[in-house]
Chains A and B, each alone.
Chain A
Amino acid sequence: MATRAVGQLIQRRSLLLAGASLFLKGNASAAGQPIVVVVAVSSATSDLGMSTLQRIFGGDQISGRDGQRVIPFNQAVQTAERSTFDRIVLGLSPDDIARYWINRRIRGQSGPPRTVPSVALMRRVVAQLKGAMGYLTADQLDGSVRAITIDGKRHTEPGYPLNLR
């Protein structure tokens, strides 16, 4: 009986450790990688200033160099990518960002960018919808979308603004 209890305890601890390991792995993946802003491969946009990026994801209407209205998409709420992006680009914590969008709605201003629930869907939407713009971590990039430079810097270069600070 005592042996069974110890076995259950070990099993529970193992599960806890496995869960913690998964949690850490999920966060480390987002935390260790820079955020990249992505557009369709065929998009005319190749670079954005940080201030323009702030305006696009902060609710302003901005058109690209080809005159196409930029349609921003957010990652799901409470993902590490989303909170990292909001913190670096808009300078707002998750609570602050919620207040920011509520305040804008009360002022009669535009609402937040639409949210896509998964990275795979983000890549598909950005690849297929004209003018769409989203963000991923660098390790989530594949050939379906193209990363743009921010303030003239690639995500692999030192001084890239969307690196974790």
Chain B
Amino acid sequence: MGGVTIERAWLEYALNDYATFRGGQWLTPYGIWNVDHGSPTLIGTHRPFTVGEALFPERQTGLELHGAYSLKATKLGYHLTLSNGRGPVDSYHDFDRNKAVGGRLFVETRAIPGTLTVGTSFYKGLYTDRAEINAVDSSSGEAVLSITRPITSQYHELSLAGDAKWEWQKLQVQSELIMNEVAYDVREQKPSLVGPFLTADFRRWGVYGLVAYQLPWLPVMPYVIVEYYNFSNRPEVPAAYGTYLGLNIRPIPRVTLKAQYTHGTFDGLGSLGFGRDSISFLELQAAWSF
């Protein structure tokens, strides 16, 4: 099985140096990892769990306004977004009339040794899923096809994030803290099996830190990532810790070779015993950009 996913398809128009309109499908402008996005650019073999769990939508369809203002060695930038929000087919259809809003504010400065970028992001939206029920009504003596699309799941969500990245000579240090809160709409009946691990309304959050150093005599970058991820605010599911050790080798600019060892543990058993075992694995990856 394979396939091709269109991750981005947009048009943009620059009004001036401080404002550019973008319309189409775009990557949600939050944090570091989701913007870096592609394997050759990313340092690790896979995204930290905190990013991979999509606490923010990975991409959205709608409008984005972005720009930056520079003052000497410091740049202040922003993104504002209006989109269909998250949904089962959000790239081409919005199942509710409630548009999602989001934004990002960041400061990038070279006024210190190296380059420091600090940012904060938010997303607020309504997720809606619907079923399609086709029925034939012949009570009037004539067969009439009726199509209804009742809501099967609907919840409000709020996501918040903060990130920091410092690059100095061959050293790179970065961290992201991300939170997502889900509240099912009271007008709809709460399903019994929703969200992660049998919970209804929930909050999940995670944080990771990465340190990488590009060796001065070889195109090799050893790195370490540590992570804490809290799946939900329910006692059944213990939080998890992750440690990733790896080598990122870029023999030529277009090719990246990676090797990463991952070790994950849980913070206790949890009431369902889910956290009994730890997990360890080794990954090798080759990425080629063209």
Contacts and interface: CB of A to CB of B under 8 A. Distances in A.
Given A49-B72, A98-B253, A103-B41, A61 B289 contact: no
A62 B70 CA distance: 10
A18 to B, nearest CB: 33
A61 B18 CA distance: 9
B110 A51 contact: yes
B37 A99 contact: no
A49 B70 CA distance: 11
Q: Which of A52, A62, A103, A105 has the most CB of B within 10 A?
A: A103
A108 B250 CA distance: 21
Interface string B53-72: 00000000000000010101
A85 to B, nearest CB: 18
Interface in B21-79: 26-27, 35-38, 40-41, 68, 70, 72-73, 75
A105 B289 CA distance: 10
Contact of A95 (B35, B73, B75, B219): B219
Contacts of B68: 60
A60 B38 CA distance: 21
Given A51-B110, A61-B14, A107 B289 contact: no
Contacts of A106: 36-38, 40-41, 289
B242 to A, nearest CB: 24
Contact of B17 (A49, A61, A99, A107): A61
Nearest to B20: A61
A63 interface: yes
Interface in B252-266: 253-254
B35 A51 contact: no
A146 to B, nearest CB: 23
A55 interface: yes
Interface string B229-253: 0000000000000000000001001
A108 B289 contact: no
A106 B40 CA distance: 8
A22 interface: no
B40 A103 contact: yes
Contacts, number: 47
B254 A102 contact: yes
B192 interface: no
A133 to B, nearest CB: 15
Interface residues of B, number: 24
Interface in B99-118: 110
A99 B253 contact: yes
Interface string A104-139: 011110000000000000000000000000000000
A140 B17 CA distance: 32
Contacts of B254: 98, 102
B36 A103 contact: yes
B70 A52 contact: yes
A62 B17 contact: yes
Contact of A102 (B14, B70, B253): B253
A151 to B, nearest CB: 10
B40 A108 contact: no
26 contacts: A51-B70, A51-B72, A51-B110, A55-B70, A55-B75, A60-B70, A61-B17, A62-B17, A62-B70, A95-B253, A98-B254, A99-B250, A102-B253, A102-B254, A102-B289, A103-B40, A103-B41, A105-B289, A106-B37, A106-B40, A106-B41, A106-B289, A107-B36, A107-B38, A108-B26, A108-B27
Interface of B: 8, 14, 16-17, 20, 26-27, 35-38, 40-41, 68, 70, 72-73, 75, 110, 219, 250, 253-254, 289
Given A98-B253, A102-B254, 12 more contacts: A51-B70, A51-B110, A55-B70, A95-B219, A95-B253, A105-B289, A106-B36, A106-B37, A106-B38, A107-B36, A107-B37, A108-B8
